[in-house]
Amino acid sequence: MDATTSRAPARRLGRAERREQILAAATSAFAQAGGFAHTGLDDVAAAAGVTRMIVYRHFESKNELYAAVIDRAAEHLYAAAVVDGEMDDDSVTRVIDWARSDPDGFRVLFRYAAVEPEFSDGIADLKTSMAAHVRPYVEDGATDRAWADWAARTATALLIESIMAWLDGGQPDPEHATARILAAVDHAVEAIAAV
């Protein structure tokens, strides 16, 4: 760059863009540090490339920020899984694709928030909602309502844990991961229905 060349000033982010930047950085910071208790606002600010003051302009507390991170990840999960209020034949594939594109969001939901006392009830509700959407796919082989509910919760738990194991394993064989995870869940549902 010579003396006649000047750089354009950096564009200042709008409030919504800045909030999204902080949420994305916070998701990564919380996932990489090991959850709520192990992550400070300084970690989030550093990951976002802003000061703590900027974080506080958008979120009054770490709790509020973490709740927003959880809500954002849950919204992305729901958008992937549910179309027009229902799951369809491609829902699991879209959930896996979302987890692949946002492994930190998936981990925050199902590894960290799920076991943190202040947030675990919300994640339990999320899993219950997921199971309710899965239920129509497993109830044909179920002998009664309680059995269908159990089968739906089991299929949901297996899906979540299969994705988590795949992410933790370094996302091996990405070309076939979706097919393998789907096969594991399908075989489990078939086994549940066969009993």
The whole-number pLDDT of residue 103 equals: 97
The whole-number pLDDT of residue 74 equals: 97
The whole-number pLDDT of residue 168 equals: 95
Structural domain contains residue 6: no
Say how far apart CA 58 and CA 16 lie, in whole Å. 9
The whole-number pLDDT of residue 188 equals: 82
- Say how many domains are in the chain: 1
Tell me the residue range of the domain where 140 lies: 15-194
Counts for the chain of helices (H) and strands (E), in that order: 9, 0
Structural domain contains residue 4: no
Task: Determine contact, residues 109/70, Cβ cutoff 8 Å.
Answer: yes
Structural domain contains residue 113: yes
In CATH, what number is assigned to the domain containing residue 156?
1.10.357.10
Element (H, E) at 145: helix 145-168
The whole-number pLDDT of residue 116 equals: 95
The end-to-end CA distance of the chain, in Å, is 73
The whole-number pLDDT of residue 143 equals: 74
3-state secondary structure of 64: helix
CB-count burial class (<10 Å; 0-12, 13-18, 19+) for 158: middle
86 has which bridge partners?
83
pLDDT single digits (tens) 5-34 = 556 555 677 889 999 999 999 999 999 999
Task: Determine contact, residues 40/55, Cβ cutoff 8 Å.
Answer: no
Element (H, E) at 188: helix 174-194
- Taking the whole predicted model, whether its pTM rises above 0.85 is answered as yes
Say how far apart CA 88 and CA 99 lie, in whole Å. 18
Structural domain contains residue 32: yes
Which residues does the chain have with pLDDT short of 70?
A: 1-11, 141-142, 193-195
Say how far apart CA 32 and CA 95 lie, in whole Å. 21
The whole-number pLDDT of residue 195 equals: 64
Structural domain contains residue 5: no
Structural domain contains residue 2: no
